[in-house]
Structure 1
Amino acid sequence: MSTIVVEVMPKAELLDPQGKAVVGALSRLGHTAINDVRVGKRFEITVDGEVTDAVLDDVRTIATEILSNQVIEDVVGIHVADGVDA
């Protein structure tokens, strides 16, 4: 089994109220060097067998048509996970 990671972020030109809330909280906690945060979504899709070009094409379709709202979000990354993230 393999895991494909899809990353979705708000479009750069749109306000990210959740990110603004995080940056405000960080500032109040004394982390004043951080001046911007953008909050997105990460999807981990597990597939049976090898990740072929056809599987990746299918995941790209799923990412743009189902996992993201193309009016306000961009799919910024699709990659095969090569291990456990820290």
Structure 2
Amino acid sequence: MPRIVVDVMPKPEILDPQGKAIVGALPRLGFTAFSGVRQGKRFELTVEGPVTDQILEQAREAAATMLSNPVIEDVVNVEVLDETAAAAAEDVAAPTEAE
């Protein structure tokens, strides 16, 4: 089934304490290439049948009115997740037998 992905991030002027905690922990874990982190939210909306322009517009409206708080967050992405990307994401998320 097709999925629509909605990514929401805090507005740049909003403090991000989770991002600050992560950026502080990264060097202690050996990840020294990163100077900043902002943590956001990702929603995956499953659709029965094909994703039409009307359904995509409904997803954008839901993102702007319900999935985000427009006072402190920006909707940065609303897109259809293609099957190839979905399979790759599931492969990354699934633990391997070696773990």
The verdict on a shared fold, with TM-score over 0.5 as the criterion, is yes
The equivalent of 2:96 in structure 1 is none
Match of 2:67 in 1: 67
User: 5+ residue gaps in structure 1?
Assistant: none
Structure 2, unaligned stretches of length 5 or more?
Answer: 93-99
Which residue identity does 1:64 align to in structure 2?
A: A
Q: Does 1:11 align with 2:23?
A: no
Stretches of 4+ aligned residues off by more than 3 angstroms: none
SS of the aligned residue for 2:5 comes to: strand
Q: Percent identity?
A: 60
Q: CA RMSD in A?
A: 1.0
Q: Which residue of 1 aligns with 2:81?
A: 81
Instruction: Normalising by structure 1, report the TM-score.
Output: 0.93
Q: Whose Rg is larger?
A: 2
Higher normalized contact order (CA 8 Å, seq sep 6+, divided by chain length): 1
> How far apart are 1:31 and its partner, in Å?
1.9
Q: TM-score, normalised by structure 2?
A: 0.81
- Structure (1 or 2) with the greater strand fraction: 1
